[in-house]
A = this chain, B = another copy of it.
Amino acid sequence: MTDQPWIAVDAMGGDEGLEVMLAGVARARRRFEGLHFYLVGDEARIRAGLHSHPNLSANSEIVHAPEVVGSSEKPSQAIRRSKVTSMGIAIDLVKQGRAAAMVSSGNTGALMAMAKLSLRMLPGIDRPALAAPLPTLGDNDVVMLDLGANTEVDARNLVQFAVMGAAYARVILDLDRPRVALLNIGSEDQKGTDWIREAAAELRAATHLPLDFTGFVEGDKLARGHVDVIVCDGFAGNIALKTAEGTARFVGDLLKRAFTSSVRSKLGFLISRPATQLLRDHLDPNNHNGAVFLGLKGIVMKSHGGANELGVATAIANAAKMARADLTRRIAEDLGLEHVA
């Protein structure tokens, strides 16, 4: 894998529009000199938008796509139009080997369905899982998966998610043997569903894998930094991720109320502002944007639909890091280990 990868960007997907996508690409380009981009979408609109971003002219190529996947379009319908939509054409650039990764802020279900059909799964993997890093109190982020690709799973899926999540953590967090836990509603052995207990037994026995299985982790300990990878089904993962986002925003809103409740508290807030600004940056979802579909033969990065310029740049930077580290090959190698058992 080259150190100067090409990234295919679905320039039309997302709630914030083409301008935010292009601004995010330009920002990522300023941070990482070596990056090159396929900007996929309406050629005339992209060409017009590029006037505001001269730093992209020498390092990007426009690939015209006449249509866009709708935000509530059904996956089956999106698949039928994959040859003409910006999302479908961006995925195809990965399939052709012209791009090392693709990034989209568009419809998640359509993205997964099209990517699965076009790029196909790695050998031995039944389903892709959506993985993303979350902030913790520790030195490292924690990788969590699945975040919503699979509402129902079995023990075999969970074990595969664990192996893929650990490979991701080894590559992205530079860890030799990531600590992997299963999300559950208690830490005792008999807690949870049959398939969670079965996955725990398999992971406990799989000592040849390059990971340390640490048992169960509960929802109140996700951000403690005691584990590196948290594995769950896509329903629980999505609930946990969104509840964490919502609660952080809730506490922030209450804080804002508290700080504006009196002249005295407003003064205190102004004095503390540099410190609270650091905290705000630490928790800003745009600084943690980008969930990747693990298990595909290629890197497909989902950026949050509402991501701003910073968020898009973060997702692109993460995709580039995965491409440079050859994440797909590394996961395939680790999955090979699983079958040695």
Contacts and interface: CB of A to CB of B under 8 A. Distances in A.
Contact of A220 (B188, B245, B271): B245
A249 interface: yes
Contacts of A239: 183, 185, 219, 232, 236, 239-240, 243
B243 A185 contact: no
Given A239-B240, A258-B278, A246 B272 contact: no
Contact of A188 (B72, B193, B219, B255): B72
A250 B188 contact: no
Interface size class of A (residues with CB under 8 A): 35 or more
Contacts of A224: 246
Contacts of A282: 254
Contacts of A255: 255, 276, 279
Contacts of A176: none
B262 A240 contact: no
Chain multiplicity (copies): 2
A254 B244 CA distance: 14
Contact of A246 (B220, B246, B278): B220
Interface string A264-308: 110111111111101100110000000000000000000000000
A154 interface: no
A102 to B, nearest CB: 23
Contacts of A272: 258-259, 264-265, 267-269, 272
A311 interface: no
Contacts of A248: 247, 250-251
Contacts of A190: 74
A265 B258 contact: no
A261 B246 contact: no
User: Helix, strand, loop or mixed for chain A's interface?
Assistant: helix
Contacts of A251: 247-248, 251-252, 283
A238 interface: yes
A72 B253 CA distance: 38
Interface string A56-99: 00000000000000001010000000000000000000000000
Contacts of A261: 275, 278
Contact of A268 (B193, B243, B270): B270
Interface in A132-175: 136-137, 148, 151-152
Contact of A223 (B72, B185, B235, B246): B246
A274 B283 contact: no
26 contacts: A136-B250, A151-B192, A193-B235, A218-B238, A219-B240, A219-B241, A219-B242, A219-B243, A220-B245, A222-B243, A232-B239, A243-B244, A243-B247, A244-B244, A248-B250, A248-B251, A251-B252, A254-B282, A254-B283, A255-B276, A258-B272, A258-B276, A261-B275, A264-B272, A268-B270, A268-B273
Interface of A: 72, 74, 136-137, 148, 151-152, 183, 185, 188, 190, 192-193, 218-224, 232, 234-236, 238-255, 257-259, 261-262, 264-265, 267-276, 278-279, 282-283
> Which are the 9 A-B pairs with shortest beta-carbon distances?
A268-B272, A219-B242, A268-B271, A220-B246, A265-B275, A219-B243, A247-B247, A220-B242, A258-B275
